[in-house]
Structure 1
Amino acid sequence: MSQHTQPPAPDSTPAPEAAAAPAPYPGPSGADFLQAQAPAPARPGNLGLGIVAAFVAALAVAAAYGGIMNAIEREISYAVIGVGAVVGFAAGKLGGRNPLLPVVGAVLSVASVILGELFYYALALAEASGIGLGDVLSTLGVSGLIDIWKEGADFKTALFLALGAFAGYSTAKKIGG
């Protein structure tokens, strides 16, 4: 014998709706959170590639820096930060985590700034004298341009070279690391 129950008769008051159960959380379970996540593998340092990249960047940025200064006919002291950042970026991005690369970035940043200023002087002298850049370089040579640069160097020059070095160092360290 089966027992059969009849549903209660409807009355005029609506029945309270049953509370809907919340949907289960689709994310990882608690056990997944307890397992230690492995850190991303460290990018190995490639000192040679970092140095080559920083050197090429230093040459390219020096040419751009000198050319821009010549085009606007004045020095841009604060641009040394950008020069250092580009050189440091190249060193850190392609060189990785090698601890020597920030130092390389700083040294090549300073060299790039000086080379850019020498290029600016050579371009300005070529324009002022009406001769070609090659003639200026063959007449004065790099040592002659350095002597001209030294005459104009002062505390402000040293300060901006230090800023360029800092930018090259810190950018290479941050990007590489």
Structure 2
Amino acid sequence: MTQPTPPGQGGQPYGQQQPYGQQPQQPYGDQPGYGYPQQPYNPFPQQPQPGGFPPPPPAARGNVGLGVVAALVAALVAAGVYGGIIGATEHEIGWAAVGVGFVVGLAAGKVGGPNPAVGVLAAVFSLSAVYLGQLVGASIVIADKLNLDFTEVFFDHFDFVQEAWKHDADAMTYVFFAIAAVAAFGSAKRASQ
């Protein structure tokens, strides 16, 4: 028979002897988890939705299809802004072409991820955006000079706008294309990291 150890003499308090092979439970606060088994850390706990199903996982970066769509939308918006700048100043501006490439590449890289095709498509879309922006700018200038509506010049006389663009295009026009493409490729690569 085992003799009970009085409290305070190194053993368990009277009446609380542990069976052979079991460790005594520590009081609360002496071990992690306060006496409960330690759970693995989960920084993103999933809360059940109505119906008991967990929410879908967040959209993963690296979706090339969404990157292409983001680059296309950014290219259209940047082309409009670039065209507005050209129309207001009646000059092509190099930093604006860099901005077009940067915006298109940033959108493509953030959404599309590190796939090299995303950077190439961003460069192609930025070239198209600079060209479209220059056509929009030329249409604004022509509409102002002839006292016509922009939409009439751009949509009804698009061939005339393209001819005017070809006539005015010089070496700097093509330098702006190159600047925009390089900026788009570089910003897509940096944004995807």
SS of residue in 2 equivalent to 1:131: coil
The reply to whether residue 146 of structure 1 matches residue 162 of structure 2 is yes
The reply to whether residue 83 of structure 1 matches residue 104 of structure 2 is no
Residues 105-146 of structure 1, C-alpha deviation per residue, up to 9 Å, x if partnerless?
1011111111111000111111111111122124312x3322
Q: CA deviation at 1:44?
A: 4.9
How many residues of Structure 1 are paired with residues of Structure 2 in the alignment? 134
Residues 136-175 of structure 1, C-alpha deviation per residue, up to 9 Å, x if partnerless?
124312x332222121222222122111100000110111
SS of residue in 2 equivalent to 1:170: helix
Which residue number in structure 2 is paired with residue 160 of structure 1? 176
Name the TM-score, length of structure 1 as normaliser.
0.71
Which residue number in structure 2 is paired with residue 55 of structure 1? 72
CA distance 1:65–1:138, change in 2 (3 Å): closer
What runs of 5+ residues in structure 1 fail to find an aligned partner?
A: 1-42
The list of structure 1 runs, each at least 4 consecutive aligned residues, that deviate by more than 3 angstroms after superposition, is: none
Task: Specify the code of the residue in structure 1 equivalent to 2:180.
Answer: G
Q: Is the 8 A contact 1:54 1:105 kept in 2?
A: yes
Q: Is the 8 A contact 2:110 2:192 kept in 1?
A: yes
Task: Specify the code of the residue in structure 2 equivalent to 1:174.
Answer: R
The reply to whether residue 124 of structure 1 matches residue 137 of structure 2 is no
What runs of 5+ residues in structure 2 fail to find an aligned partner?
A: 1-59
Name the TM-score, length of structure 2 as normaliser.
0.65
Structure 1 range deviating more: 85-94 or 61-70: 61-70
1:10-159 matches, within 5 Å, as 44-141=61-158, 143-159=159-175
Separation of aligned partners in 2, 1:138 and 1:104: 26
Separation of aligned partners in 1, 2:160 and 2:88: 22
Q: Is the 8 A contact 2:61 2:111 kept in 1?
A: no
Separation of aligned partners in 1, 2:172 and 2:89: 20
CA RMSD of aligned residues (A): 1.5
Q: CA deviation at 1:65?
A: 0.9
Task: Specify the code of the residue in structure 1 equivalent to 2:113.
Answer: G
Separation of aligned partners in 1, 2:91 and 2:116: 36
Task: Specify the code of the residue in structure 2 equivalent to 1:172.
Answer: A
SS of residue in 2 equivalent to 1:100: helix
Identity %: 43
Separation of aligned partners in 2, 1:59 and 1:109: 9
CA distance 1:47–1:128, change in 2 (3 Å): same
